[in-house]
Amino acid sequence: MIGQEETMCNPMAQAGICNDAETDLNMMMGLCVGHDSLFLKNSRAYTTVFAVKDRALGHKIVIIGDDAAGMSAAGQIKKEY
């Protein structure tokens, strides 16, 4: 969330790890827009995107079943802005 500490990711190192493992197919889940592009550029294997990270919804990238966490976060954003 905005104003909270976040761990930084390293998409180029992640692609390098996959390259070293000689993967045939990579599935990205939860990389920020921009970081996904860096991963795609540096990965040797085919890669598909499962879900991207969404800062606006508090990084709640997948809603499972009746979990409306993403919707409640969206409502909070409307109140704040």
What does the alpha-carbon distance between residue 55 and residue 64 come to, in Å, rounded to a whole number? 18
Fill in the amino acid letter for 25. L
pTM score, whole prediction: 0.62
Could you read off the pLDDT tens digit of each residue along the chain, which spans 81 residues? 567 665 567 899 999 999 999 999 999 887 877 888 999 999 999 999 887 776 666 666 555 545 455 555 545 544 544
